[in-house]
C-alpha cells in the first residue's frame, strides 16, 4: 500500500465584507461569507486563517471576536438564516447558533483602537468530525462595543485546500 503525502493547493481569500461590521452584544448578529463550494474539487480539508481588526475606541473589555464555520445541511438547504452569500445575518437565538455554527476561533479584545487579531490555521474538516462539508460559509461576529475597522484591507479570511496523493 502506498504512503499518502499531504499536498496544499493555492490559498485563496474567503469573500466576506468585514469592514465596519457592527458590534453585537449577543454575538448573534454578524456577517456571512460567500459559500466555499467543495463539490467539484473535493478537497479533503481546508485550513482557515485570518485577521480581524477592531475599530476606534472599543468599549468591550474584554470584548470577543468569534469566527464560525457553517455547513450546508444537504444539497440545497442552509441552516437558519444562512444562504451562502456575503451578507449581514442575525441568527435566531443562541440555541440555534450552537446547533449549526462550529466555532473556529474566539479572540478576546481590549479597549485599544485598531488592533489586528490573527487566528488559525484551523482545520475545517475537524470542526465537522473529520469530513469537510460539501459547501460551507464563514460567519464572523464581535462584541467590541464599536464597529470594526472601516478599511477593508485590515481584515482577511483565507482558506488553503488540502489533499493527499499516493507516494
pLDDT at residue number 2: 81
Q: Number of folded domains in the chain?
A: 1
Residue 125 is placed in which grid cell?
A: 474538516
Its domain, for residue 140, covers: 4-166
pTM: 0.96
The DSSP code for 45 is: E
pLDDT at residue number 132: 96
CATH of residue 106: 2.60.120.660
Rounded to whole angstroms, how far apart are CA atoms 134 and 35? 10
Query: How are the residues of the chain apportioned to helix, strand and coil, as percentages rounded to the nearest 5?
Result: 10, 45, 50
- pLDDT tens digit sequence for 1-38: 789 999 999 999 999 999 999 999 999 999 999 999 99
What 3-state class would DSSP assign to 154?
helix
Other CB atoms within a 10 A radius of the CB of residue 162 amount to: 19
- pLDDT tens digit sequence for 109-167: 999 999 999 999 999 999 999 999 999 999 999 999 999 999 999 999 999 999 999 98
pLDDT at residue number 21: 98
Number of H-type helices and E-type strands within the chain: 2, 11
Rounded to whole angstroms, how far apart are CA atoms 13 and 116? 17
pLDDT at residue number 27: 98
Rounded to whole angstroms, how far apart are CA atoms 103 and 93? 16
Beta bridge partners of 4: 166
Amino acid at each position: 500500500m502506498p504512503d499518502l503525502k499531504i499536498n496544499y493547493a493555492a490559498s485563496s481569500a474567503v469573500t466576506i465584507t468585514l469592514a465596519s461590521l457592527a458590534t453585537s452584544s449577543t454575538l448573534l448578529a454578524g456577517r456571512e461569507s460567500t459559500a466555499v463550494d467543495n463539490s467539484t474539487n473535493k478537497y479533503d480539508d481546508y485550513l482557515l486563517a485570518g485577521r480581524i481588526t477592531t475599530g476606534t475606541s472599543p468599549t468591550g473589555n474584554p470584548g470577543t471576536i468569534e469566527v464560525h464555520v457553517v455547513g450546508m445541511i444537504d444539497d440545497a438547504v442552509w441552516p437558519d438564516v444562512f444562504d451562502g452569500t456575503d451578507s449581514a445575518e442575525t441568527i435566531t437565538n443562541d440555541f440555534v447558533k450552537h446547533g449549526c455554527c462550529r466555532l473556529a476561533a474566539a479572540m478576546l479584545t481590549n479597549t485599544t483602537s485598531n488592533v489586528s487579531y490573527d487566528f488559525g490555521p484551523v482545520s475545517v474538516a475537524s470542526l465537522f468530525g473529520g469530513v469537510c462539508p460539501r459547501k460551507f460559509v464563514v460567519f464572523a461576529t464581535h462584541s467590541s462595543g464599536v464597529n470594526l475597522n472601516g478599511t477593508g484591507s485590515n481584515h482577511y479570511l483565507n482558506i488553503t485546500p488540502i489533499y493527499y496523493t499516493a507516494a
